[in-house]
């Protein structure tokens, strides 16, 4: 048995049944990282020593019966914008290239309390600002399906790590699509939960009213188990919602009879790649064949989501990133004259181009004289978008859409044209504005062999519907699109690759 | 392109953003911002008269708690990341010149 061929939940079970030790699990993934990461660049930091030490501790706690959950002993890769005590946390920026957090993010702590073993920190767009993972100060991550292509972003390192079998499970964050879009590009499953479900404590803020932490894995069951562990009411994050309905694994039932699924016509118009469209429509037919009621509807405000998002996210970023001033942590420039000179030079040298672009835009839209015309206008648009979704969810349980308009673009193709890169988030961004949960699951590949992801969106707090629908799709297709078996250095085999793995 | 950003505006925004920009960076910032604002102006097609700006999707109110110290003295740990420190404090350059 190849440990890497197991999903996170399967691996956890084998560890509890003493068929695999935690050390063996951690070593299998460290070995894979060693073999492939020079090519993929999923990781900024690999914590070999810490992970092996932690593996011993977790094994002891499992043996003593203190850890009994599904993720005990399971290795996890963590996006590098989530603080990890005593472990470098860079946000893929020169600004934080030497930052060792004195505390651990609540989301990571929840996983650790459940016995997960952090094996490293994953690459991303700098401060999560980007859609391709190319704005990282540590160089771009490559798509494991074709290394000439991007993995998407900003959680590109986490998604690539799961796709390349460098980790069975990873954490990402999603401000405008940063879990769902790279999950689609990399052929993995990713959930962006309802805003407030997972604590943002220790998540280095980008757009605080939009940011959510979520899981990335090879199948829906893994994501459900991880989300169940991640969700918690945390008094350290005052926007955290107290939820009682977080037994997400209970929603893993293949039954969508009568589920009302709406397809927004506006998501299937201009700009959508024909092959992506074909795969998504096939997936919709699969769900209909399982008894779901699938129909089209109008979602008129789609064109306004991206402009509203860039105003709101940039405004919040300009405020959030004011803390990086070279005083308490991070990079400090040399050769300044006085305090303000130090601030300005530090920030000019510490931030990359995309981050500066958004800080400038954010500072502008918040400035006196433009605040009403841009910032408040965007917040009013957000209210309209939220109201439109409220209406849609009176009629539908789920919205079905592509996760991105194309499959993964080539490296370098988007960087030269920021506007083009922004458009790759057109189907994911409004979900963040309305605080909704969304999931991306693989539904096939295009003719170049690059994965296509389907996005399912539900009303706030209706993650269980998402999980049920996504799980039903997996079962209806015999888990054909679940990355299952690996051989050689890395291989994400599709059709037929899942036959020898038991259903969770 | 309908939006025009002046040199003065870019200089002013750079002050707000606390970013030291080179002349070349200012020029590209101007072009980027003009392009983004043209795009953002599509929001003006929407009638938002009377719509209350929504900063949070859920009606959240301030969360109060007792002001009780829960953490230990972690002075050393917090200072460990400082680029420069002196006598148990963060060291900064001259603030009054």
Residues B42-79: pLDDT tens digits?
999 999 999 999 998 988 778 888 899 988 889 999 99
Contact status of B55 with chain A (Cβ, < 8 Å): yes
**B29 → closest Cβ in A322, A360, A365:** A360
Rounded to the nearest angstrom, the gap between the alpha carbon of residue B8 and the centroid of all alpha carbons in its chain is 19
pLDDT of residue A423: 84
Residues 18-57 of A with CB under 8 A from B: none
**CB distance B72 to A319 below 8 Å:** no
Residues 23-42 of B with CB under 8 A from A: 25, 29, 32-33, 35-37, 39-42
- Which residues neighbour B5 within 8 Å (Cβ) at sequence distance 6 or greater? B30, B33, B34, B37
**CB distance B32 to A362 below 8 Å:** no
Q: Is A447 a catalytic residue?
A: no
Query: CA–CA separation, A247 vs A261, rounded Å?
Result: 23
pLDDT of residue A447: 95
Contact status of A351 with chain B (Cβ, < 8 Å): yes
What is the secondary structure of A178-195 as a DSSP string?
A: TTHHHHHHHT-EEEEPPT
Which of A155, A173, A178, A414 is the catalytic position? A178
Q: Which residue reads 């978008």 in tokens?
A: A385
Q: Is A79 a catalytic residue?
A: yes
Nearest Cα to Cα of residue A199 among A231, A159, A157, A160: A231
Query: CA–CA separation, A158 vs A153, rounded Å?
Result: 9
Burial class (CB in 10 A: 0-12, 13-18, 19+), B74: exposed
Nearest Cα to Cα of residue A155 among A185, A196, A194, A193: A185
Residues 240-259 of A with CB under 8 A from B: 241
Contact status of B73 with chain A (Cβ, < 8 Å): no
Is A338 in contact with B56 (Cβ distance < 8 A)?
no
Distances (CA, A) of A209 to A254, A324, A429, A488, B24: 34, 20, 13, 43, 33
Strand-pair category, A189-192 with A293-297? unpaired
Residues of chain A with pLDDT under 70: 483-504
pLDDT > 70? residue B81: yes
**CB distance A486 to A492 below 8 Å:** yes
Task: List, for residues A474-492, the tens digit of each pLDDT value.
Answer: 999 988 877 644 434 455 4
pLDDT of residue A492: 43
**CB distance B52 to A383 below 8 Å:** yes
pLDDT of residue A69: 97
pLDDT of residue A483: 65
Looking at CA atoms only, how far is residue A379 from chain B in angstroms?
5
**Residues found in chain B:** 97
pLDDT of residue A495: 37
Q: How confident is the model at residue B13 (pLDDT cuts 50, 70, 90)?
A: very high
List the beta bridge partners of residue A217.
A169, A189
Strand-pair category, A189-192 with A212-217? antiparallel
User: B1-46 sits in which CATH class?
Assistant: mainly alpha
Question: Residue ranges of the domains in chain B?
Answer: 1-46
Task: List, for residues A190-218, the tens digit of each pLDDT value.
Answer: 999 999 999 999 999 999 999 999 999 99
CATH superfamily of A3-302+382-476: Amidase signature (AS) domain (3.90.1300.10)
pLDDT of residue B1: 60
Is A332 in contact with B92 (Cβ distance < 8 A)?
no
pLDDT of residue A499: 36
Token pair of A134 as six digits: 């190319």
> Model-level pTM?
0.95
């Amino acid at each position: 048995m190849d440990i890497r061929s197991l999903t996170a939940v399967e691996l956890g079970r084998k560890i509890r049944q003493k068929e695999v030790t935690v050390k063996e699990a951690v070593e299998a993934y460290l070995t894979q990282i060693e073999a492939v990461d020079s090519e993929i660049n999923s990781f900024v930091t690999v914590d070999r020593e810490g992970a092996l030490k932690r593996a011993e501790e977790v094994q002891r706690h499992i043996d003593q019966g203190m850890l009994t959950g599904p993720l005990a002993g399971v290795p996890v890769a963590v996006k590098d914008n989530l603080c990890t005590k005593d472990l470098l946390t860079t946000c893929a920026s020169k600004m934080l290239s030497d930052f060792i957090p004195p505390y651990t993010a609540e989301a990571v702590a929840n996983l650790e309390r459940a016995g997960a073993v952090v094996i490293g920190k994953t690459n991303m767009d700098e401060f999560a600002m980007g859609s391709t993972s190319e704005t990282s100060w540590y160089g771009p991550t490559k798509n494991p399906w074709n290394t000439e292509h991007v993995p998407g972003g900003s959680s590109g390192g986490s998604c690539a790590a799961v796709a390349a079998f460098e980790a069975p499970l990873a954490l990402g964050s999603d401000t405008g699509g940063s879990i769902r879009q790279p999950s689609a590009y990399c052929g993995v499953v990713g959930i962006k939960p309802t805003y407030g479900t997972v604590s943002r404590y220790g998540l280095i803020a980008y757009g605080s009213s939009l940011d959510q932490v979520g899981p990335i894995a090879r199948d829906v069951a893994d994501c459900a188990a991880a989300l169940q562990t991640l969700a918690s009411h945390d008094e350290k994050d005052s926007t955290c919602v107290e939820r009682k309905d977080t037994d997400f694994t209970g929603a893993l039932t293949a039954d969508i009879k009568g589920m009302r699924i709406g397809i927004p016509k506006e998501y299937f118009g201009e700009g959508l790649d024909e092959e992506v469209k074909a795969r998504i429509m096939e997936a919709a037919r699969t769900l209909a064949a399982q008894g779901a009621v699938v129909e089209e509807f109008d979602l008129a405000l789609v064109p306004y989501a991206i402009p509203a998002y860039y105003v709101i996210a940039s405004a919040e970023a300009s405020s959030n990133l004011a803390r990086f001033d070279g005083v308490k942590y991070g990079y400090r420039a040399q050769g300044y004259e006085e305090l303000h000179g130090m601030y300005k030079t530090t920030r000019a040298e510490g931030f990359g181009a995309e981050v500066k672009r958004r800080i400038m835009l954010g500072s502008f839209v918040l400035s006196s004289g433009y605040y009403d015309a841009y910032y408040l206008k965007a917040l009013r648009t957000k209210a309209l978008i939220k109201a439109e979704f409220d209406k849609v969810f009176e009629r539908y349980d789920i919205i079905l859409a592509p996760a991105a308009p194309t499959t993964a673009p080539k490296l370098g193709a988007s960087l030269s044209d920021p506007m083009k890169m922004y458009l790759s988030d057109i189907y994911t961004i409004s979900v963040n504005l309305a605080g909704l949960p969304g999931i991306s699951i693989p539904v096939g590949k295009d003719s170049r062999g690059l994965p296509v992801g389907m996005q399912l969106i539900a009303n706030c707090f209706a993650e269980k519907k998402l999980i049920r629908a996504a799980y039903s799709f997996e079962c209806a297709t015999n888990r054909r699109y679940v990355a299952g078996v690996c051989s050689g250095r890395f291989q994400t085999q599709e059709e037929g690759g899942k036959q020898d793995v038991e259903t969770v | 392109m309908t939006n025009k950003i002046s040199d003065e505006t870019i200089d002013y925004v750079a002050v707000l953003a606390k970013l030291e920009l080179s002349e070349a960076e200012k020029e590209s910032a101007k072009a980027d911002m003009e392009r983004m604002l043209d795009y953002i102006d599509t929001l003006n097609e929407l009638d938002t008269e009377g719509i209350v700006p929504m900063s949070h999707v859920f009606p959240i109110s301030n969360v109060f708690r007792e002001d009780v110290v829960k953490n230990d003295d972690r002075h050393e740990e917090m200072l460990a990341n400082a680029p420069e420190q002196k006598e148990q404090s963060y060291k900064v350059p001259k603030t009054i010149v």
